[in-house]
Structure 1
Amino acid sequence: MYVVVDGIRYHLLLDGEGFPMILLHGFTGDSSTWTPFIDKWGRHSRLIAPDIIGHGNTDSPRELKHYHIESMANNLKTILDEVGVHEVDLLGYSMGGRLALTFAMLFPKRVRKLILESTSPGLNTERERELRRMNDAKLAHFIIDKGVESFVDYWEDIPLFQTMKGLPASVQTKIRGARLRNSPQGLSNSLLGMGTGSQPSWWERLDELHNDVLLLTGQEDLKFCKIAEAMSARIKKAKWIVVENTGHAIHVEEPEKFGTIVSDFLSNQL
């Protein structure tokens, strides 16, 4: 299904029945990230998985203003209106988690439960944000200059994804294929508009979240475990689960375990 918002055509994957759940993929991914979980989650949730702007089959406009994370959160609200959904459960991974958190901060009454996998609320200081923006700008230029394939070669080799190198070749090939289908313009602008240095820092407002919140991190992802520990101390109704023998992409490295944890959380069994 496609929905046009602010002149941008968004692709949505729809499946399942029950209380609506929005699924937000990470940087370089798309809605196919969530296809392994459709059979399980579709039994209890109406699944709505958009390709975030600049990814998958959603448009990749040239204008950077469309990629600002708050703009994308506003468009997500309109997408929900278009498909006739008001209150939702919201799951986001990495970049998608930052978008999910932004949406929950801007539209708290539209979120019932919030699930954040390997997610940061942003950076604390303007100096940190400035340095990150400079680094993301270099990567954005790299994508335009060298192309998506060269960037994906680099991206797959960063320390954050080292634990994924032990996955079966078929799984790695599928993930790489999804990454390569993205456009240079879309990925470049996503870094500039939705990068951790560009988004607002939500650290000081985490105590405003009154939803049930589940934080998921991989045991080997020490950076995000530290972030989740600090987040859980500030969020009133937070549960934090560390999944053993996994890194940043828990849903890929331990899909069965990940799928069960999410289902149990939604059914109040955690």
Structure 2
Amino acid sequence: MRVGVVGCGLMGAGIAEVCARAGQDVIVVESTQERVDAGRDRIVSSLQRAQSKGKIEAAQPAIDRIRLTDDLNQLEDRELVIEAVVEHEPTKLDLFTRLDQVVKASDAILATNTSSIPVMKLATATQRPANVVGIHFFNPVPVLSLVEIVPSLLTSPETTRRAQDFAEQSLGKHAIRSPDRAGFIVNALLVPFILSAVRMVESGFATAEDVDEGLVRGAAHPQGPLRLADLIGLDTTAAIAQSLYAEFKEPLFAPPPLLNRMVEAGLLGRKSGRGFYEY
């Protein structure tokens, strides 16, 4: 399949990598040449690490299947385009309007990797809402096997089936279906849990280290909720929380002030070098 990926941050690079490793022809679009270069370095480094650890036989074949560009028009022949840009609704809406004009095939799937924005909103920014679906990967994409397939009320059954077949048969992922509600399945459960951990630290009830050690050693979690928040990105965590609160109006879904202040300060977790921990 001819796959397009828009955005080459942690998620976009991971999506492009797993598609290339699965033999797909991949074009990745970023907004500037500088970001194209950074995205290429991210993908190549990840594939070379996978080779050095014996997870793949050779990195070069997958690298050769990926082309990177700053020209969105290069996606015109794609059969599937996966959006993985910043979790900002106006940005995503503008992108889907542009993709609708660029991608030529009438049956092409326009997918979003959003973790919080309703798929319906993005679908109605196009003239083909039946072809728009959520394909939500989890970070790190090459490691975690789960994908959430999220049809909107306007997504056709054929689009949903094709999206699930792509995730399972082409990429070897395990797909679950979620209704088009804020947070979908995983984040609707996970993010309130993370927010509770943030409130513990904010109130002085416990340190970040003790919260995380408690969950790792006492509940057998692979990592604590605050280290996980740093991995997800505190800006992304806050955006999902805001979406959950907007939809359900539950106070426990609202992002705590500490989380908002950290985002405003640029303390976003691993990607900025500092969040609840330093990296």
What is the TM-score when the length of structure 1 is the normalising length? 0.31
More strand by share: 1
Rg comparison, structure with higher value: 2
Between 1 and 2, higher relative CO (CA 8 Å, sep ≥ 6) is seen in: 1
